[in-house]
């Protein structure tokens, strides 16, 4: 079958669960923790991967997958190169969004918020926990910059391996954590006939989370 014909005809119905505004947790971070735990228990693939959307100076969005490494109190941590495309976009616009997709559970979680650097202590602690090859990799890749060949990257790795042979591999100044502070969440549970459940949480002027249902 032709690929376009195939995807045009695909029709999956969602039947694995329901989501009710009366049953959800009072706070979205508790609801997020519950769904993350259930996804881990359901052995969802790449459970900590999320799509991070940033916006550049010209208001043009771009997105990519990154790994969530920690979350608590509406704060979501990930680690990357500060001089990458995302890093440059974050410098000019602190508004970001994040999307998790758990196909095995027919669930999606959308988060919106503002982003800042994680503390140096957190970045150091995470960097130091990484395997040696990943530490060398961080030093060796000018993430998002054009390179001439695979060889160029591999030579950079060799040079850094040599340089750090007999010394501690410290965190590069251009690499570390970001923390997204969420001000909006949406929990989506697929339902039959596209009549999905969508429950969102938004902060009101008194800084309280208000729960609402959205049309699918």
Helix (H) or strand (E) holding 3: helix 3-9
The contact pattern for ligand FMN, residues 163-192, with x = CB under 6 A and - = no contact, is ------------------------------
Residue 112's Cβ-count burial label (10 Å; 0-12, 13-18, 19+) is middle
Interface residue with ligand FMN among 30, 42, 65, 210 (CB under 6 A) is: 65
Catalytic residue check, 69: no
Question: Which helix (H) or strand (E) segment is 209 a member of?
Answer: strand 209-213
State how far the Cα of 177 lies from the Cα of 52, in Å rounded to an integer. Answer: 14
Contacts 24+ apart (CB under 8 A), 199-202: 199/19, 199/20, 199/21, 199/24, 201/27, 201/28, 201/31
Kindly tell me which residue out of 70, 83, 85, 137 binds ligand FMN, with binding defined by CB under 6 A: 85
136-165 binders of ligand FMN (CB under 6 A): 143-144
**Do residues 33 and 76 touch, judged by C-beta distance below 8 A?**
no
| Residues facing 77 on adjacent strands | 70, 179
Could you tell me the smallest distance in angstroms from the CB atom of residue 62 to ligand FMN? 6
Minimal distance, residue 64 CB to ligand FMN, in Å: 4
User: Binding ligand FMN by CB under 6 A: which of 33, 38, 49, 202?
Assistant: 49
Member of 47, 71, 77, 80 binding ligand FMN (CB under 6 A) = 80
* Piece of the chain touching ligand FMN by CB under 6 A; list 20-28, 60-68, 163-171, 204-212: 60-68
| Total number of residues that touch ligand FMN (CB under 6 A) | 16
Q: Which is nearer to ligand FMN, 81 or 140 (CB)?
A: 81
Closest of 126, 138, 103 to residue 16, by C-alpha: 103
Shortest spacing between CB 69 and ligand FMN, in angstroms: 7
Tell me the two tokens of residue 25.
Answer: 């947790």
Element (DSSP H or E) covering residue 101: strand 95-102
> Of 59-67, 166-174, 176-184, 194-202, which part binds ligand FMN (CB under 6 A)?
59-67
Single out the residue of 76, 78, 82, 209 in contact with ligand FMN (rule: CB under 6 A): 78
CA nearest to 178, candidates 125, 130, 131, 115? 115
Catalytic residues: 194
For ligand FMN, the binding residues (CB under 6 A) are 46, 49, 62, 64-67, 78-81, 84-86, 143-144
């Amino acid at each position: 079958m032709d690929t376009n014909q195939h995807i045009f005809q695909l029709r999956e119905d969602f039947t694995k669960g329901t989501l009710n505004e009366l049953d959800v947790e009072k706070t979205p971070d508790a609801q997020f923790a519950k769904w993350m735990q259930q996804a881990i228990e359901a052995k969802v693939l790449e459970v900590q991967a999320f799509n991070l959307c940033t916006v550049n100076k010209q208001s043009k969005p771009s997105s990519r997958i990154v790994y969530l490494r920690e979350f608590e109190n509406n704060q979501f941590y990930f680690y990357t190169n500060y001089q990458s495309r995302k890093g440059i976009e974050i410098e000019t616009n602190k508004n970001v969004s994040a999307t998790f997709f758990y196909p095995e559970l027919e669930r999606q979680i959308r988060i919106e918020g503002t982003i800042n650097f994680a503390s140096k202590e957190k970045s150091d602690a995470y960097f130091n926990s990484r395997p040696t090859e990943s530490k060398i990799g961080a030093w060796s890749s000018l993430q998002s910059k054009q390179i001439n060949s695979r060889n160029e990257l591999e030579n950079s790795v060799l040079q850094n391996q040599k340089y750090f042979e007999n010394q501690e591999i410290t965190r590069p100044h251009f690499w570390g954590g970001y923390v997204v502070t969420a001000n909006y969440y949406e929990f989506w549970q697929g339902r039959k006939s596209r009549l999905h459940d969508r429950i969102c949480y938004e902060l009101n002027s008194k800084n309280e989370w208000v729960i609402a249902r959205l049309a699918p």
